[in-house]
Structure 1
Amino acid sequence: MTTPAERAERGKAARKRASRSSHGVWIPSADRADPVTVLERQAADRVQELLPIRYGRMAASPFAFLRGAAAVMAGDLGTQRHTGLTVQLSGDAHLLNFGVFASPERSLLFDLNDFDETYPGPFEWDVKRLAASVAAVTGEQGHGEDRAHAAALAAATAYRKGMRRLARKGELDVWYERMDAHELLPLIDSARHRKRAEARLDRARRRTSLQALGKLTELVDGRRRIIHDPPLLEPAGPPDVAALRKIFGDYRSTLAEERRLLLDRYRFVDAARKVVGVGSVGTRCFIVLLTGRDSGDPLFLQIKEAVHSVLEEHLPSGPHVHPGHRVVAGQRLLQAAGDIFLGWMTGPQGRAYYWRQLRDMKGSLDLTTLDPAELHAYARLCGTALARAHARSGDRIAIAAYLGGADTFDRAIADFAVRYATQNTQDHEALCNAIAAGILPADPHSPSGV
């Protein structure tokens, strides 16, 4: 077993593979794939009638495009030199993929909340995607490159400082580290900003299965049924319901014994196909309504198709063959407290799926409404949360030593973020041009949804 000093030396040695300042460079390769082609290739096996929603949501703005274009950015990151300091990557550490949710103890936590692309890889790839999304949303607010650079710098600095703090802690202390949402409020500078944050937390606390029951269902002939709201929410037909009932047992087997017992106390009531997210639109996704003690004791589960991570073609093979297992294992490793109903299974036609609760006090921000001070504060929170997640799976001592006490890495990441945001704007234009030329279909009225 290596000593902390040896681990630190390994981190410093990684500077020879990729210097800290080298992360600031962004020059697209001569053979860079066309972004529209990347998106079309990714969509080949998706539900084709839903693709106009995906492209319509991505066309809304460069920031929205970046959220749906994880595959494009993965290809770009794959051409750059990297540190070789491996962690379990989120794979899509976009600003909108952080938020609050309830722990099993019913505390509100702040953390990463999207793991469709999770995969082992160099830690800086997540940091670069986070910083690029910060720069993109700042630019969308019309604040200019200087403020975009400052906001991205805030995220990178918080990551570095968070990792260096965690490097000094013991293993269990790092494992039990978490960010309680209410403990974050004192970190927000102004009373006005704190009041707005408190209101958002209150809204998240009300987002439960009981609240979803009133929003997503209706009584039909005295029986509770999921509403019909095409194309975003459509009740599953008899074949889909039968398939979901059949695979329910396979999903159940991936849960811990005590959670299987809890799940057995619920009965299957109804199911529907649901459109979620931006980049995920077109993958197969269902929600299932279960009831426990009575009809006023609901549980909504989401069944989401898991496909290969966008990072896989750019990195060595990971430990999980089943894409659903990959997502579940990555989420359990990265999140401070996991969903008790998180599981996976193989469905019809050999497609991989994972299961989770649809709503469990989950909430995120409308970032376009934040002023510069709020955005800086939020970027710092996300950088800190990302460091905590990486410290659980990677060599935090080596990463901290690589990062160092100076802000060399931070400034390089901020430089990259601003440059990549410009590239992203050009890619967004390419998508809009493809839509205008009729190459890609788009629904211009597609609500963003979650």
Structure 2
Amino acid sequence: MDDAPDRRPPPASRLEPFRRLARARAGGDLVPLPRMLTGDDRRTHVRQTVREDHQVRIARGDEEARAKFDKLAGSLFSFFRGTSLLFYRDMAGEDAWMPTVLAAGDVHPDNFGVLPNRDAVPVFGIDDHDEAFFAPFTWDLKRGATGFVLAADELGGKGRRKQDRIARAFVEGYVEAIGSYATEGGEDEHELRRDNSPELIRDLIDDALSVSRAEWLADDYLDEQRRGFKASRKLVPVTSRRAEFQDVIDRFVAGSGIEVPARADGMRVKDVAERKGQGTASLGLTRYYVLLEGPARDGTDDVVLELKQARRSSLDGLVPPSGFDSAGHGDRVAHAQRAQLVRGDAFYGSVEHEGLSMLVRERSPLRNSLDLEDLSGSEWLQYARVCGGVVAHVHALSDDGGGLDHDVEPAIAAAIGPGELFVDDIARFAREAAERARADHETFRADHALGAFRRVDVVHR
């Protein structure tokens, strides 16, 4: 009976209690945060938070949901990347007196890379804006510094002293760059291109430029006749849905105000595929690839668009109240990308489909990222400093295109105060957060082995 009431217990949610906690903490109340929990209380908090953050994927019970938890169990750094809600609940309402920026939201060493700007020029920057949200500028630095500590440990094999130096280099790069933007400006035109990048980044850009679009399409996407997507474990062609997705793309162009470049040749959908097994935090979310036919019409210059389910930012409900609003999920991410890159992806935008807010962006042969395991000790320090500068650039762009109504760089520079003290504060936070992540990962692994993430928490009568 379709009209029968749904008597299943509703899923448990602590969203509103954490909103109240964040407001109280931001208002100056001396309320405890979850990071102060120990023992079994902390283990239960970790379990409940991970379950709550993955309610839909757990309830669906699909292979990718299980694959995500296996991935998180197998790697501490993957666990950190895939549990941003856990990280930010430990910071609820914190740093309310600090200047607000349009934060990237999920800063860590693997979320930087080479990507094309709207003129198809490869630039280096943040390549994931899914968690972007208005927050104190320190939130990006605390997550970023913690990410560098954990990555340098697991992927770089660095000891504790070197991990600390790398985290400090990240913050020092930020402090130096934000000071420059505060006194000299120039953020509205700055890009890290091949001609103005350090050698480490220049080599990464050269590597991206070495692959032609035709070669990239043939190797990664197209069937032997170049008529559509090839079938693989990761790509599942759904060619019968071309008309459906032509409508989606048409609505996307109209709704996002996209200025279609000539290389997209009228945005004609050539094929569609479901994309499986991609990402860490987003693993298990709905994702499609759409193939647009290029002007040559021979499969050598086609365009690949990615449509990915957008979710509520992990920072939503946890940041101190600021008066700045973030729009719906896909629109929020698209706005952040446009604001945080000087000349960003020409196809970046969002569209509603299947009842979901879908983020749209281009896949490109010009996308490339460092293999962190190959970095030497000096390269880790250089990379961390460059990434700190990139975050400063993102924050400096928060005022004009980002939606802030004041010049934010001087305010940040003033809030930083004595640079050495500020760097030490963030580095000490990162050390403690990394230790907490290590302990949380161990309890997560134990719970995962006992089947804890095959079900969600529900509210029983």
> TM-score normalised to the size of structure 2?
0.81
Match of 1:378 in 2: 383
1:215 partnered with 2:219: yes
* CA–CA distance in structure 2, aligned partners of residues 34 and 57 of structure 1: 20
* CA–CA distance in structure 1, aligned partners of residues 116 and 204 of structure 2: 14
Shift of the 27–41 alpha-carbon distance from structure 1 to 2, 3 Å rule, reads closer
Note if contact 2:249-2:267 (Cα within 8 Å) is conserved in structure 1.
no
1:36 partnered with 2:76: no
1:332 partnered with 2:333: no
* CA–CA distance in structure 1, aligned partners of residues 170 and 132 of structure 2: 20
Q: Which of 431, 435, 444 matches 2:444?
A: 431
Q: Structure 1, residues 18-69: CA drift from partner, whole Å, max 9, x if none? A: 9xxxxxx995357767223222212222354111221222223211211111
- Match of 2:317, SS state, is helix
TM alignment of 1:42-61, pairs within 5 A: 42-46=53-57, 48-49=61-62, 50-61=64-75
* CA–CA distance in structure 1, aligned partners of residues 305 and 101 of structure 2: 29
TM alignment of 1:9-408, pairs within 5 A: 27-29=35-37, 34-46=45-57, 48-49=61-62, 50-78=64-92, 80-140=94-154, 141-170=156-185, 173-186=186-199, 199-206=203-210, 209-219=213-223, 222=225, 224-230=227-233, 232-236=234-238, 238=240, 240-256=241-257, 258-259=259-260, 263=264, 265-274=266-275, 275-293=277-295, 294-295=297-298, 296-315=300-319, 316=321, 319-348=325-354, 350-394=355-399, 395-408=408-421
* CA–CA distance in structure 2, aligned partners of residues 426 and 152 of structure 1: 20
Note if contact 1:118-1:327 (Cα within 8 Å) is conserved in structure 2.
yes
Note if contact 1:131-1:152 (Cα within 8 Å) is conserved in structure 2.
yes
* CA–CA distance in structure 1, aligned partners of residues 120 and 358 of structure 2: 26
* CA–CA distance in structure 2, aligned partners of residues 149 and 354 of structure 1: 36
**How far apart are 1:228 and its partner, in Å?**
2.1
Point out where structure 1 has 5 or more consecutive residues left out of the alignment. 1-16, 19-24, 187-193, 442-450
Q: Structure 1, residues 355-382: CA drift from partner, whole Å, max 9, x if none? A: 1101250111121221221111100000
Shift of the 131–181 alpha-carbon distance from structure 1 to 2, 3 Å rule, reads farther
Shift of the 123–213 alpha-carbon distance from structure 1 to 2, 3 Å rule, reads same
* CA–CA distance in structure 1, aligned partners of residues 215 and 97 of structure 2: 45
Shift of the 352–255 alpha-carbon distance from structure 1 to 2, 3 Å rule, reads closer
User: What CA RMSD, in Å, does the superposition of the two structures yield over aligned residues?
Assistant: 2.6
- Match of 2:436, SS state, is helix
Shift of the 118–259 alpha-carbon distance from structure 1 to 2, 3 Å rule, reads same
- Match of 2:279, SS state, is coil
Q: Structure 1, residues 45-95: CA drift from partner, whole Å, max 9, x if none? A: 235411122122222321121111111111112153443411001110111
**How far apart are 1:264 and its partner, in Å?**
5.0
Note if contact 2:334-2:359 (Cα within 8 Å) is conserved in structure 1.
yes
- Match of 2:150, SS state, is helix
Note if contact 2:98-2:136 (Cα within 8 Å) is conserved in structure 1.
yes
Letter in 1 for 2:102: Q
* CA–CA distance in structure 1, aligned partners of residues 169 and 258 of structure 2: 43
Point out where structure 2 has 5 or more consecutive residues left out of the alignment. 1-25, 28-32, 400-407, 455-461
Shift of the 318–260 alpha-carbon distance from structure 1 to 2, 3 Å rule, reads farther
* CA–CA distance in structure 1, aligned partners of residues 49 and 274 of structure 2: 26
* CA–CA distance in structure 1, aligned partners of residues 437 and 311 of structure 2: 24
Note if contact 1:209-1:300 (Cα within 8 Å) is conserved in structure 2.
no
* CA–CA distance in structure 2, aligned partners of residues 263 and 225 of structure 1: 16
Shift of the 401–208 alpha-carbon distance from structure 1 to 2, 3 Å rule, reads farther
